[in-house]
Each structure stands twice: as structure tokens, then as C-alpha cells.
Amino acid sequence: MSLAPLLAAPWLVQAHVAAALAAILLGLMQFIRPKGTGVHRLLGWCWVLLMAVVALSSIGITGVAGPGRFSWIHGLSAFTLCGLAASVFLARRGRIGAHRRSMIGLYVGALLVTGAFTLLPGRILGRVVFGW
């Protein structure tokens, strides 16, 4: 394991990875902690902000479909931003069950599943974690 590939990456990639890792950890805290409290709401807003940084920063990261070209991942970024807005709307309207499902879906889909693709050979995090 070596951080060298990440440290050699552009600052936007570094910010993207840092926000994603922070969102993964904060999301885990949200799953464990009591719901509906002031702390839950504060951490929830922090998580939404981190996820917005992850989604928005990904728009400037290209290369999967070729240098300077957008890929399906950019569509996921737009979907994530819409999902974040919808999840906040659901919570504010008191539709807590729908809010919970939406947030879990974003956590799993936009962070864990998409994050798993970053570990593939040739990708920066694949080189960091596995050396490939």
C-alpha cells in the first residue's frame, strides 16, 4: 500500500477522495447514532455537504471514457445531487421512512458501489490499495 499515486494526482482528485472517505465514515456514524436528534440533523447536513463535494468534484474528473470525456459516472453524480435534494425534502416533510431509504440508497450506491469501482486495476485507488 502506497499513497504515492494519490499524492501525485491532481488536487481535485485528492479533494474528491478526501470528501468521499469522510462521507463514508460520517455515514457509518449516522447509522449507529440515535436518529431525530439535533446531532443527527447537524451530522446529516455535514454528510449532505460532503456528498455534494464528492458529486460536484467528480464532474471535473474525466478519463474513464477517455481524457476530457464524460462517462456514466458523471450521470451518477447528477443523480446523487438530485437524490440528496430529495432526501432533505423528504425529511423536512416528515416522511422519515422514505428519507431513511433514500439516504441508505445514496450511501450504498453513490459511495460503496461506486467506490468499489475505484479499486479496479489501473485506477488511482487500485494502485494505492493493491499496487495495481
Is the pTM higher than 0.85? The answer reads yes
What number of residues does the chain have? 132
**pLDDT score recorded for residue 64:** 62
Q: Which residues, listed in sequence order, are joined to residue 63 by a DSSP beta bridge? A: 66
**pLDDT score recorded for residue 75:** 87
> Which grid coordinates are listed for 49?
455537504
Any idea what the Cα angle at residue 129 is, between residues 21 and 77, rounded to 5°?
Answer: 40
Q: 56, 81 in Cβ contact below 8 A?
A: yes
Compute the distance between CA of residue 64 and CA of residue 50 in angstroms, rounded to an integer. 23
**pLDDT score recorded for residue 53:** 98
**Residue-level pLDDT, tens digit, the chain, 132 residues:** 899 999 999 999 999 999 999 999 999 999 999 999 999 999 999 999 999 999 999 998 886 656 667 777 888 999 999 999 999 999 999 999 999 999 999 999 999 999 999 999 989 999 999 998
